[in-house]
Structure 1
């Protein structure tokens, strides 16, 4: 079953093409009618780890704040990040670690709403390899799937291997496996032995018997066991210049997203799924509800960044990101996130 339907793909492609014709993100975001207009790229809009963005839109929380939000999608966070840097969009819903990575390249980005304190990622293994790959210690000689080279799943996979003395490129091979049906096909066809992905792909693999859970970072306990601490991931991040020039707009986005996080924490997976576009569930509504239920505990309820978690992200990147390696001490961590807007939203 493919939970990402052709309709979703067509709509996403149309949105991305439309963004190319839009004006630069550094221009004024107010429309002629006075309503604020913001374009946000999501690193996989149908991934449950980024669910708050679409859910806020579905619940009407953005419009309630007087802001029109256009949501587009790229299947890898590194691609979404490029859309922000090029000025095609004003914000990205993606992994927080990109703000650190890009600071070392002279770019100032900051997380304005931290949606989750853990990655929500799961290392899946094919049934054929489950008997011999029982932990990251067994990665040696294996082909491991990541969303894209240079992506957050790339860095996390390298970190997991390093904990057992294994090095990417030497001891194991990372393969770009994408997400959704592309990832499923890669695992099923033996192009990868194991790989990192998220719900609803995880739920699809488990229910179909095409994959088994090896490492689960959808919970704080699982994340701490795998990564030695919290790893703040899903967030809304924007350029520092945009945030400083459009604080009222950013505050509206924060208000909407914090309200959405509270909705998630107080509703079941089935109740949340009922608010999402019907095509996100594909042809298995129950499985989609389960995937949300299995993952929703990853989201925090206030949008705040845990400072110790941010430090742990820097520690991981300093070992495996080509941009951050050797520059850990020069990273100004406090400039990669702010709680100014979520503090006000909670107040």
Structure 2
């Protein structure tokens, strides 16, 4: 090849690499959230409101689904690059041959409660009393399913001793209580505060605090997180690092600002017409958030213990927990 032709070829190669890099940098990142107005999933909308995604040069679109099961299906179908949902999906998906990992942890505990219908509270005083009753979950096969089953098993109950009904979250769950379609149901803030304030339900099991979670499950139960397909994390290290930085900044904001200031950054329709109640619910939830986005030691083992008893996908299979999460990207944040 002559010298001029060689130079042209080199220029063409450099140009194509440059264009590819630009296209890669401008790529939209779709994040599906398993219920975007739930306080357990507060960080993504807060990060957007604070402008942290834009600070990192990221084009992020947030979408919402009713449950984590729906969100993970969107991720596997390629309709999204990331999901904000419970970490335990990473374990479940590995058992199904899918490589998914959590890259930022938001919740040290589930941030949820098993609530009992107020008129049934005198008969149902713990999860051992749900025999012959109906347990409400967000979706069959969801995190709420396995947690409910595990809590009932600690009182010797089998899954055949009670029925489960998917009731979603928020208004649909509240309606299920009022229509007496469920006796006990798993839910999160601000729905728990709405149910308690209205008198429709009472707390049966508290998984909203570190103390309550340790007592009920025997350890921390890392829950809400940002998870992605491992191949995406490896081929998009720059983007993954920027997402981690935006979310760690968000977690630090939560740790250093009062509930009133955090609530002021959220859309008004998240308040459900009652901002004071939203702030109250947020105050009750602040202690569940991770301060740094890192997976706590022993946490994955607790999750595997709970899931291993009832998830048929996991039974009899060896799970490589080290492949279900990584601190690689949050460790890079100064």
- Normalising by the smaller structure, the TM-score range is over 0.9
**Corresponding residue number in structure 2 for 1:22:** none
Query: Which structure has more helix as a fraction of its residues?
Result: 2
Q: 1:154-169 alignment to 2 at 5 Å?
A: 154-168=145-159
Residue 189 (structure 2) aligns with:
199
Q: Which residue of 2 aligns with 1:332?
A: 320
Q: Deviations over 1:58-82 (max 9, x none)?
A: 0000100110110001010000000
Q: Is the 8 A contact 1:36 1:249 kept in 2?
A: no
Does the aligned pair in 2 maintain the 1:29–1:37 contact within 8 Å? Answer: no
Whole-angstrom distance in 2 between the partners of 1:31 and 1:41 = 24
Distance 1:208 1:267 in 2: 28
Secondary structure of the corresponding residue to residue 152 of structure 2:
helix
What is the Cα deviation at residue 33 of structure 1? 9.8
Quick one: which of 116, 124, 127 aligns to 2:107? Answer: 116
Give me the whole-angstrom Cα distance separating, in 2, the residues matched to 1:225 and 1:102. Answer: 27
- Tell whether the 8 Å contact from 1:31 to 1:37 is kept in structure 2 after alignment: no
CA contact (8 A) 1:113 1:303 kept: yes
Alignment deviations for residues 106-134 of structure 1 (CA, whole Å, 9 cap, x no partner): 10000000111110011111111011111
- Whether 1:279 aligns to 2:269 is yes
Aligned to 2:120: 129
Give the TM-score taking structure 2 as reference length. Answer: 0.92
Report the equivalent of 1:237: 227
Aligned to 1:250: 240
C-alpha deviations, 1:270-299, integer Å up to 9, x for none?
111100011111211101111111112100
Q: Find the counterpart in structure 1 of residue 16 from structure 2.
A: none
- Across the two proteins, how many residue pairs are aligned to each other? 316
C-alpha distance in 2, partners of 1:201/1:29?
A: 45
CA displacement at 1:307 relative to structure 2:
3.0
C-alpha distance after superposition, 1:139-166 (max 9, x if no partner): 2111110001100000000000110110
Match of 1:187 in 2: 177
Measured after TM superposition, the shift of residue 262 of structure 1 is 0.6
The answer (yes or no) to whether the contact 1:42–1:72 under 8 Å persists in 2 is yes
Runs of 4+ in 1 over 6 A off after TM superposition: 28-31
Partner SS state of residue 192, structure 2? helix
For residue 37 of structure 1, report the CA deviation from its aligned partner. 2.2
Mapped partners of 1:149, 1:29: distance in 2: 42
User: Given the alignment of the two structures, is residue 342 of structure 1 paired with residue 330 of structure 2, yes or no?
Assistant: yes
1:267 alignment partner in structure 2 = 257
In terms of Rg, which structure is larger?
2
SS at match of 2:200: coil
| Pairwise CA distance, 1:192 | 0.3
* Alpha-carbon distance in 2 for matches of 1:65, 1:291: 30
In 2, Cα distance between equivalents of 1:29 and 1:90: 18
* Change in CA separation of 1:109 and 1:33 when aligned onto 2, cut-off 3 Å: closer
Compute the RMSD of aligned alpha carbons.
1.5
Cα distance 1:29–1:177, how it changes in 2: closer, same or farther (>3 A)?
farther
- Structure 1 position 30, deviation (Å): 7.2
